[in-house]
A and B are shown apart, each in its own frame.
Chain A
Amino acid sequence: MQEIHLIETVGLSKRYPGVLALNSVDFDLKAGEVHVLFGENGAGKSTLISMLAGANNPSGGHIHLNGKEVHFDNVADAQNVGIYTVFQEFSLIPTLTVAQNIFLGWEPMNGPFVDHRAMRRRAKEMFDDLDFPIDPNEITARLSRAQQQMVEITKAFHGDLSVLILDEPTASLTDREVDHLFEFIESLKARGVGIIYISHRMQEFTRIADRITVLRDGAKVGTVAMADTNDDTLVEMMTGRAISEIYPTIERNPGEVLLEAKHIRTAGVYDSSLEIRAGEVLGVAGLVGSGKSRLFRTLMGLTTRVKGEIRLKGEDISHASTRDIIRKGMFYLSPDRKAEGLDLIKTSNDNLAVNLVMGGCGVSRRGTINWGEVRARSNEIAEHVELDEGYRQKLVSQLSGGNQQKVLFGKCFGQDADIYILDEPTVGVDMGTRAALYLLIKELAEAGKAVVVISSDLPEVLHLSHRMLVLAHGHLTAELSGDEMTEDQVLKYFFDESGAKI
């Protein structure tokens, strides 16, 4: 019997200038199933759903809905045929009420006027129906992230919902909220809605997935039924290599304590004390919102310091400006390379040059710059971080995430420092590039520098660090080293709600 799929893509491709983001992917979704899309950042998951959602046009291939070929010019087209997507970035207007958001563009009218009463009543009915405890009159900005997500999902129920696409829906939800979401997904399945679910969290798959499609580098690796697979197989499918090929062994050679922070307090971080040592990789783990990044941004003077004392090589830097702290030998690699890491409209050479010039490279005694010298040095650095020669003259905005991250790492080598704080050093970077970046971390640590790796990618922290800190809800919940550094241990402290101090 020929089965008709709810959605089917045939040879779907998307080409961006210089990149094949999606390479001829066949994908299908049955009614009443949860189909998980799994893969690394940049594997093509987002590209695939953006085309199913109508946010993007395919460069090749077809999309079939119930056996008929469809074309979407925009998101509204897709919504009209019952495909609704909840993106990671919500499309809610924070200043409007919840009801106004739900009915944005669909406002119930009373003659020429918006019927606010009907709008509130219907929003209330929809929330009751979905069992979401939200007040339709609340201003959207006041809701928690989980509640906002519920509003986002509620918006999907205007018309006949047949396909719901959820992009990393649990990224910032608490356990209880996740439970609630999963119950809801079950009830949707029972109604015959097909669900495409994107997530990195493998522990969730066993709970909800029916089938899993793994993508790597824009191509489909395979589709497997959840019942026939396990975590190890999935990771191997995702990365295409064994774990040992990715993470290098970093020699531990602990030197003196370079930085000592005591009783640090700031918004979202409570009373945290830590030490950073030379010749050691300090890993920092925690969920999104645990304050792991914030704690170190506070050390760098990037957020307001409420309380606490920070000593860098014996010198008090509790009130120093970021600029002074950088000059005294701390380097901070931003987790957001586009917003605060790179100058996107310049070439990688120019981006590296800023740090070189600030570090005094090529600056004569009279204060003029010898660009030849700076260029030569930035080329050396580009060589060192394995940035392909052809990319060096290109604008950074045109490079892939992995190459952008190489440029950002290159900035580390432009300014000499003793402590390198790497905040999410491999976010959105493919495995090949990751392995290269890890070697750079190894090089720094083995050269006697102190390296701090803050990451939401737990395997990364576990494999690279000699010692690690775990944060939960703004509290340092554990300091682990040696054999204590196991995934189970760390996860236990991830959800430590007691706020106990170590």
Chain B
Amino acid sequence: MSEETKRSGVLDWITRVFVRVGVLPFFLVGALIIFTALSSKFLTGQNLINVARQSVYLVLVSMGQMLVLISGGFDLSVGTAIALTSVVSALGMVWFAGMFPDMIWLAIMLGAFMGFGAALLVGLANGIGVAYFEVSPFIMTLGVSSVGAGFALFLTGGVPVSGMPFAFADTFGFGRLWGIPVPVIVAIICIIAMWVFMSRTRLGTQIYAVGGNIKAAHLSAINTKRALMLAYVVCALIASLTGLLLTARVESGEANLGGTIALESIAAAVIAGVSLRGGIGRVENVVLGAFFIVLVQNGMNLAQVSSYMQMVLLGALLILAVIFDQIRYRIIMSGR
């Protein structure tokens, strides 16, 4: 009898945690147990720091993705925004560096701005299509993704852009400030800014409202088109920033950067409890979700899972997360 009540108590607790924070804590504990068992190198300080550094890029993109998901859509073109930024900024830096060989930082800045500009166009195209023409986010971002990828390949002819200023890669790819890698610092600043934006500003509140019920938001005097637009533009710009950091890391402008990041970022956000129906999601959880995805990839590498099998597992993980999200939604709506 008491054994039974205890068991139902535990089950009750699990359900409550699941409803409150979603599937992430269970996935995280599961991953830690499995990979610790598979590889002795997994649960070491060195490895975890390594994972933290590698996860910077996905953390950033996932936060942008989260913004769009909360607004009630999703963005499949984040990878394209990264590739386009990489190619355009690299071409820009090379070109400006040739023009002003004495002012290398000016060249880097101008190139970076060109990259941001290219991503801004991607975000604007998505935003205008979704907000003003009411194209489904799936089709809009899928189409833009093809357009952008095509441009990136066209601009480079498929060949990586090399000869970038050394200072750029030195600082943003491998540099450290107070002993902390520069990309990590950039990510931390972005996380804080994003958290403040989503939880402390009017615009953030509006994006939650638009995703929750766009008609109700409209009747509450919210500019729903602007809110949607903003979500896509900010998402593209964050992806663009990620693109610059990745470009610095690989020291060349590449049109194939960010190939799988759309899927990964959606998986990270959904696992972290961002609702695919919009309106729900928290920055801090998404950061953890992205960390989880990179952790799993790292664990699979250590356990010598082939990269092809990793694709299989990642896709399965995403579907599983969505199924759990669906179950969670049902529990919430039925009011248990």
Contacts and interface: CB of A to CB of B under 8 A. Distances in A.
Contacts of A398: 333, 335
A84 interface: no
A368 B201 contact: yes
A21 to B, nearest CB: 13
Interface in A53-96: none
A375 to B, nearest CB: 13
Contacts of B136: none
A397 B213 CA distance: 12
A346 B212 CA distance: 8
Interface string A336-378: 0001111111100001011101100001000111010000000
A236 to B, nearest CB: 33
A225 B206 CA distance: 55
Contacts of B212: 343-346
A17 B221 contact: no
Nearest to A360: B202
Contacts of B213: 339-344
Contacts of B219: 322, 326, 332, 334, 340-341
A18 B280 CA distance: 24
A18 B329 CA distance: 18
A363 B279 CA distance: 21
A265 interface: no
**Range, interface on chain B:** 20 to 34
Given A334-B215, A345-B275, A345-B279, A17 B335 contact: yes
Contacts of A395: 332-333, 335
A435 B142 CA distance: 52
Given A322-B218, A395-B335, A343 B279 contact: yes
B18 to A, nearest CB: 15
B335 A358 contact: no
Given A326-B221, A368-B201, A397-B335, A342 B196 contact: no
B335 A323 contact: no
Contacts of B333: 344-345, 395, 397-398
Interface string A383-413: 0000000000011011000000000000100
Contacts of B216: 334, 340-343, 351, 354
A363 B215 contact: no
A66 to B, nearest CB: 35
Which of A323, A353, A369 has the most chain B CB atoms closer than 10 A to its own CB? A323
Contacts of A346: 212, 279
A101 interface: no
Nearest to B200: A368
Given A343-B212, A345-B212, A345-B279, A411 B220 contact: yes
B156 interface: no
Interface string B222-236: 110000000000000
B6 interface: no
Interface in B180-239: 196, 199-202, 205-206, 209, 212-213, 215-223
B273 to A, nearest CB: 12
A65 to B, nearest CB: 30
B221 A327 contact: yes
A415 interface: yes
Nearest to B213: A343
B334 interface: yes
Contacts of B218: 322-323, 340
Contacts of B201: 367-369
Given A17-B335, A340-B216, A354-B217, A367 B202 contact: yes
B209 A354 contact: yes
Nearest to B223: A323
Contacts of B332: 345, 395, 397
B321 to A, nearest CB: 18
A17 B279 CA distance: 24
A40 B151 CA distance: 62
Contacts of A354: 205-206, 209, 216-217, 220, 222
Interface in B261-298: 275, 277, 279-280
Nearest to B224: A323
A398 B220 CA distance: 22
A63 B220 CA distance: 46
B140 to A, nearest CB: 23
Interface string A309-326: 000000000000011001
Contacts of A322: 218-219, 221
B306 to A, nearest CB: 40
A357 B205 contact: yes
A354 B333 CA distance: 21
Nearest to B214: A340
Contacts of A334: 215-216, 219
Contacts of A369: 200-202, 205
B333 to A, nearest CB: 5
Nearest to B205: A357
A326 B223 CA distance: 11
Contact of A358 (B199, B222, B275, B277): B222
Given A345-B332, A363-B202, A358 B279 contact: no
Interface string B315-333: 0000000000000010011
Interface string A453-487: 00000000000000000000000000000000000
Nearest to B333: A397
Contacts of A342: 213, 216
B221 A358 contact: yes
Nearest to A18: B335
Contact of A17 (B215, B223, B329, B336): B336
Nearest to A368: B200
9 contacts: A18-B335, A323-B221, A326-B221, A334-B215, A342-B213, A344-B212, A344-B333, A346-B212, A368-B200
Interface of A: 17-18, 322-323, 326-327, 332, 334, 339-346, 351, 353-355, 357-358, 363, 367-369, 371, 394-395, 397-398, 411, 415
A-B residue pairs, 6 tightest by C-beta: A340-B215, A343-B212, A398-B335, A326-B221, A17-B335, A343-B213
Interface of B: 196, 199-202, 205-206, 209, 212-213, 215-223, 275, 277, 279-280, 329, 332-336
